[in-house]
């Protein structure tokens, strides 16, 4: 198979779909890998390293898309990239379609076979290709929140861990999954006053067992969220419904109860955000203020630590890339129902139920697509 790796073009996105080590694995198994020039510059890997791994270096994205049977990326394809997709071409990347009807429309029109990292499952019911970036984003959310809390960045001027004789910042984490756990862990490590809210009894037990007296673990409902947010210096939005838009847990009315200069970090912004006042921002302009509350809503947070993120992501995605290349998309998905769960768009049909529901498309199941 010919596998194409274009340079990412989203604002301040420095990650790359395949590392040189991943390229070497694919070429060793007899596949061709076409890498756009300078695609790995953001992670410190130059074209010579990709050539040494067996890749062909292509002059631009157009030549990659034109020649490749499968495109491997990191972020959702931008409009210019979607225009280069063709019928039957495999696209393997993060998509986050639920809050992005324009992307869904273009993928449907393209006739491509779009497989989303974020809806691939595993035997434990987890999301193994989303997990590494959730770990990174969770940890980064505390860094970003701490910076936004500084007075020079519009925040309250509060140090997360405080100092002897001065109270630490109150950090509230909405959601106790992978993002929420890593956010809370970092915040606890910085000696902040941490509260975690979640609805799952199993998650509450797991979090309580891990953190003990170092963090409060509370059942999440409208009243408990409102109470926690009102007293918070920093709120981390870390909720996820796989494939669907994130629930809006913090309303604009709640902002009126918050301290001026408090900070909201919405890690769920890829799925539409979990704060009513959230809108996507970039690393170039990461924050904005609504009703005196600082919002940090960067949609590609892990892109800021591109090398760590790319290698962590490749550790999870490479086995699936190899499977798709070795077997072809149909046989790979037939052989692996967890990978099959990643099929979001197939030859003009939406094959992810939450996306079809929220955007009013007729839903075709992945099984039906494979049988067609």
Q: How many other CB atoms are there within 10 angstroms of residue 161's CB atom?
A: 15
- Find the catalytic residue in 31, 96, 182, 338: 96
What SS3 class is residue 232?
A: coil
What is the sign of the dihedral through the CA atoms of 257, 178, 342 and 16?
positive
Q: Which of 69, 193, 233, 270 is catalytic?
A: 270
Closest alpha carbon to 92 in 203, 12, 18, 192:
18
- Helix runs in the chain, H state only: 20-28, 47-52, 61-67, 79-82, 101-110, 131-148, 178-189, 201-211, 222-231, 252-255, 306-335, 337-340, 353-359, 366-371
Kindly report the backbone phi and psi dihedral angles of residue 259, in degrees, each rounded to the nearest multiple of 5, phi listed first.
-70, 140
Yes or no: say if 104 and 345 are a contact pair by the CB < 8 Å rule: yes
Distance CA 340, CA 15 (A): 25
CA nearest to 177, candidates 143, 146, 144, 200: 200
Indicate if 337 belongs to the active site: no
Residue 96 is among the residues annotated as catalytic for this protein: yes
CA distance 21 to 152: 41
From the centroid of its chain, how far is CA 255? 26
Specify the long-range contacts of residues 148-151, CB closer than 8 Å, at least 24 apart: 148/234, 148/263, 148/265, 148/286, 148/287, 148/294, 148/296, 149/233, 149/234, 149/261, 149/263, 149/294, 151/261
* Residue 65 near residue 84, CB atoms below 8 Å: yes
Query: What positions carry a catalytic annotation?
Result: 96, 270
């Amino acid at each position: 198979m010919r596998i194409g790796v274009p340079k990412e073009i989203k604002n301040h996105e420095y990650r790359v779909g395949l590392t040189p080590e991943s390229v070497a694995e694919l070429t060793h198994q007899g596949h061709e890998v076409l890498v756009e020039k300078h695609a790995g510059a953001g992670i410190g890997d130059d074209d010579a390293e990709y050539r040494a791994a067996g890749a062909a270096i292509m002059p631009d994205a157009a030549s990659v898309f034109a020649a490749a049977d499968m495109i491997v990326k990191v972020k959702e394809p931008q409009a210019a990239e979607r225009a280069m997709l063709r019928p039957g071409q495999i696209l393997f990347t993060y998509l986050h379609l639920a809050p992005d009807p324009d992307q869904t429309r273009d993928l449907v029109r393209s006739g491509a076979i779009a497989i989303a990292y974020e809806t691939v499952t595993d035997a434990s019911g987890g999301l193994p290709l989303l997990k590494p970036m959730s770990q990174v984003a969770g940890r980064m959310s505390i860094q970003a929140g701490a910076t936004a809390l500084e007075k020079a960045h519009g925040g309250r001027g509060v140090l997360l861990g405080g100092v002897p004789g001065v109270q630490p910042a109150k950090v509230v984490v909405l959601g106790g999954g992978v993002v929420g756990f890593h956010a809370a862990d970092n915040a606890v490590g910085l000696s902040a006053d941490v509260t975690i809210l979640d609805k799952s009894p199993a998650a509450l037990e797991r979090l309580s067992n891990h953190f003990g007296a170092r963090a409060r673990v509370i059942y999440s409902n409208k009243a408990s969220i409102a109470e926690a947010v009102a007293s918070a210096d920093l709120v981390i939005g870390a909720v996820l419904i796989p494939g669907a838009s994130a629930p809006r847990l913090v309303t604009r009315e709640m902002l009126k109860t918050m301290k001026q200069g408090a900070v909201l970090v919405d890690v769920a912004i890829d799925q539409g955000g979990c704060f009513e006042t959230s809108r996507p921002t970039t690393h170039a302009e990461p924050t904005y203020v609504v009703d005196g509350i600082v919002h940090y809503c960067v949609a590609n947070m892990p892109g800021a630590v591109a090398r760590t993120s790319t290698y962590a992501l490749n550790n999870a995605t490479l086995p699936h890339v190899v499977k798709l290349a070795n077997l072809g998309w149909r046989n790979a998905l037939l052989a692996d129902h967890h990978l099959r769960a990643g099929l979001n768009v197939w030859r003009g049909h939406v094959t992810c139920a939450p996306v079809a529901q929220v955007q009013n498309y007729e839903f075709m199941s992945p099984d039906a697509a494979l049988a067609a």
